[in-house]
Structure 1
Amino acid sequence: MPQNINVLIVDDHPFIIQGYKNVIKLFPNKNIEFTFYEAIDCKSGFEAIVESDQQYDIAFLDVSMPTYEEKGIKTGEDLAKLLQKHKPDCKIALLTMHSESLKVQSIIDEIDPLGLVIKNDLGFESMILALDTIIKGERYYSDSVIKYLNNQQKEKVYVDIIDKQILHYLNKGVNYDDIPLYITISSSSVKTRKENIKVLLGISGCSDSELAAVAKDRGMLL
């Protein structure tokens, strides 16, 4: 029997909800089926979370939506807090058009969602990657969020799940040309990503084995 995953999508643009659903339906793992639940504003989001007995496995919440003044629910962040209280097993991903550093930091500090996506970063492949990562219970930050965190917190380097997989296989002694045998990424992309990681770590020019050793010491491996 396929595994069923209940997905709550809250966004005030129906065509965006439909776009998310269309992408999710193309999820490559056919052993997983999805059941969708929708809300189009803070009021219907409140009803779906607080007034419904339905349990959700994953919730994609837009940050900016029409408010529900009667209950003091003004943003997707408020809905995320309700999910954490009423349906604590639900994995939460927040999506926002705001890439300002203060907004990103505020969401991380107040909600600490499993997923945080700047909408301008979102495409078919990144949506599938985000979904797959969150299903596994792993954290997914989109590119703009990772860049912000790396600029703000020099003591810790943030990388996405693909970079962590690359570092994992480099640590195992796998040549970067052979890594595409294990993950769906080209060897040229592997090379670009590992060189970018070296720059982030301040170790440009080092060998791949040295990169893996530093990454392991910094807690960056899977």
Structure 2
Amino acid sequence: MPQESTVIKKNILIVDDHPFIIQGYKNAITRYRPTEYEFLIDQAKDCQSGYEVIVNPESPSFDIAFLDISMPAYVEKGILSGEDLAIVLMERMPKCKIVLLTMFTEKLKINTILKNINPNGLIIKNDLTFDELLFAFDRVIKNEKYYSQSVLEMLSQMQHVPIEIDQFDKKILFQLSKGTKVADIPQYVPISSSAIKRRMEDLKVLLELKDGSDEELVKVAKSKGLLL
């Protein structure tokens, strides 16, 4: 008698603040080789609910995670974006393949994502179609990297790494964007006031603002995709 084929089970996490996008991902994933794979899908709608799923001891160990970059923040835990959520996921489930999705088309932002996260997949949402998502999923599930066409074009244009910022810089910019006074930022970012001021000056130099105001720093950081 012929042996029955074994269906491979994969645990998938999707985190996006647009329900119709989550549904689109689910529709594509469940149509991928349905006789070979069974996909068990968990979903979350923002940084907080995504974080809670990831750290929940009852959650499965995820095989693949689709994370939107720009989502409502979970300020209490310092999770300001899908990038931060990816870092948590990498620490807790290092074998999970991470696919990041974004509307950003700024070269600096894309370079920062690749440098800090090095995801298995990076997709500009404007590139995304149903067939493209299936193709990306096929590449990732086969342990290959997948970058959408716009990402590849930006990478080909990059001659050098222009700017990189770390998690402290991101948190400083986030607090400034909320209107937090510089003197109060140490309550939210665990470094000294002098270090915060020095980092702000360095950011202004990097963004070619020099003597620009804090408000202008926030505005330019947003335009460069450094602040969501």
- For 1:96, the aligned partner's letter is T
Aligned position for 1:103: 109
3-state secondary structure, aligned to 2:73:
strand
Paired residue for 1:73, among 65, 79, 83? Answer: 79
Aligned position for 2:47: 42
Paired residue for 1:56, among 57, 62, 69? Answer: 62
3-state secondary structure, aligned to 2:32:
coil
Aligned position for 1:113: 119
Identity of aligned residues (%): 53
- How many angstroms apart in 2 are the aligned matches of 1:146 and 1:102? 14
Listed one character per residue, the Cα deviations across residues 40-76 of structure 1 (whole Å, up to 9, x for unaligned) are 0100111111223421000000000011111111100
Equivalent residues in 2 for 1:151-170, closer than 5 Å: 151-153=157-159
Q: CA RMSD in A?
A: 1.3
- How many angstroms apart in 1 are the aligned matches of 2:108 and 2:138? 28
- For 2:109, the aligned partner's letter is K
Paired residue for 1:129, among 113, 116, 135? Answer: 135
Question: Structure 1 residue runs of 4+, over 4 Å off?
Answer: none
Aligned position for 1:14: 19
Q: Does 1:31 align with 2:36?
A: yes
3-state secondary structure, aligned to 1:64:
coil
How many residue pairs get aligned? The number is 154
- For 1:42, the aligned partner's letter is C
3-state secondary structure, aligned to 1:27:
coil
Unaligned runs of 5+ in 1: 155-222
- How many angstroms apart in 2 are the aligned matches of 1:63 and 1:104? 11
3-state secondary structure, aligned to 1:74:
coil
- How many angstroms apart in 1 are the aligned matches of 2:57 and 2:45? 16
- How many angstroms apart in 1 are the aligned matches of 2:98 and 2:57? 17
3-state secondary structure, aligned to 2:72:
strand
Equivalent residues in 2 for 1:72-221, closer than 5 Å: 72-153=78-159
3-state secondary structure, aligned to 2:51:
helix
- How many angstroms apart in 1 are the aligned matches of 2:113 and 2:153? 16
Q: TM-score, normalised by structure 1?
A: 0.67
